[in-house]
Amino acid sequence: MRKIYLFQPPGKTAPFLDFMDSLDGKAQKKVLFALKKMVISTGKLSEPQVKHFSIERYRKFYELRERIRVLVRIIFTIDESGNIILLHPFIKRHQRNTYQALEISLGMMEQIKQSPETLVEYHFPD
């Protein structure tokens, strides 16, 4: 079974946790359900729920897609063990939001390489 890790900058809360706190209860449940499906899934993650980016610069990234009155997106990557690393969550309002999120995610990956302790394991709420 896959594990989920969150990027957490030193001395700050993980962006994913802040994002989840900003969503209403129904949206939170939908995102958590999608993440649980990804954890249990042993096969390839595919559209429409998960998009793999094909542009060379962003090829290591995926996008979890949920629609709950708004377009909820979470940029993530998969490590060599098959574990999921959640990077940058956002509400998509324009096409440029995705590219901004990808650039932010590149910076997060660089921080993770320099400081692996910025990864913390995520445990689903009961």
pLDDT of residue 41: 74
How far apart, in whole angstroms, are the C-alpha atoms of residue 102 and residue 104?
Answer: 5
Question: 56 in a domain, yes or no?
Answer: yes
pLDDT of residue 43: 63
For residue 61, give the H/E element and its range: strand 61-68
Q: Flag whether 102 is in a domain.
A: yes
H helix runs in the chain, sequence order: 15-22, 25-40, 95-114
Residue 103, domain member (yes or no): yes
Residue 70 lies in a domain: yes
pLDDT value at residue 121: 96
Residue 29 has a pLDDT of: 93
CATH number, domain at 85?
A: 3.30.2310.20
What pLDDT, on a 0 to 100 scale, did the predictor assign at position 73?
A: 96
Tell whether 17 is covered by a domain.
yes
Please state, in angstroms and rounded to a whole number, the distance separating the CA atoms of residues 107 and 102.
9
Residue 126 forms part of a structural domain: no
- 3-class SS of residue 92: strand
Q: Residue-wise pLDDT tens for the chain (126 aa)?
A: 889 999 999 999 999 999 999 999 999 999 999 999 888 876 666 677 899 999 899 999 999 998 888 899 999 999 999 899 999 999 999 888 999 999 999 999 999 999 999 999 999 987
Three-state secondary structure call for residue 113? helix
* pLDDT value for 46: 66
Whether 89 is in a domain gets the answer yes
Query: Domain span at residue 94?
Result: 4-121
81 domain-assigned:
yes
Task: Specify the number of domains making up the chain.
Answer: 1
pLDDT confidence of residue 42? 64
